[in-house]
Amino acid sequence: MKRLLPILFTLALAACGSKEAKQIEQSEETTAQIEAALMAGRSDARRIVNMEFRDSMEFHDAILHANARRSEYTIANRQRCRQAYDSAFMSTIRIVRPDLATALQQPDR
């Protein structure tokens, strides 16, 4: 019994450690994930700035698509990825179409 107790204690610690490691791994964004979010933000922004909208519904549809991608980061609790996406998205639009960036940053009336 004395030999079994240290083995059980070691196994319990190992199980706790692996659970904590998995939680940390799932909650932390890697550099590759953040880079992918930056690329997605730029890509979505380029798609929007290169489109010619026939009406406001087409514009809102394009913005909804971008918001859906942004929501994926929020739902996955990847805040740094969401921030990277937002930054790349708005920076790209601000550089290419400042008028559109101004319209997007104004609160709805």
Q: What is the pLDDT of residues 13-51, one digit of tens each?
A: 666 655 555 555 555 678 899 999 999 999 999 999 998
Residue 67 in domain:
yes
Residue 10 in domain:
no
Is pLDDT at 69 greater than 70 in this prediction?
A: yes
The contacts of residue 34 (CB under 8 Å, 6+ apart) are 80, 81, 84
Residue 21 in domain:
no
Domain limits for position 85: 30-105
Q: Return phi, psi of residue 29, to 5°.
A: -85, 135
Query: What is the pTM assigned to this prediction?
Result: 0.69
Residue 11 in domain:
no
Comparing 73 with 6, which gets the higher pLDDT?
73
Number of domains in the chain: 1
Residues 29 and 80: beta-carbon distance below 8 Å: yes
Question: Which of 6-15, 47-56, 61-70, 83-92 has the lowest average pLDDT?
Answer: 6-15
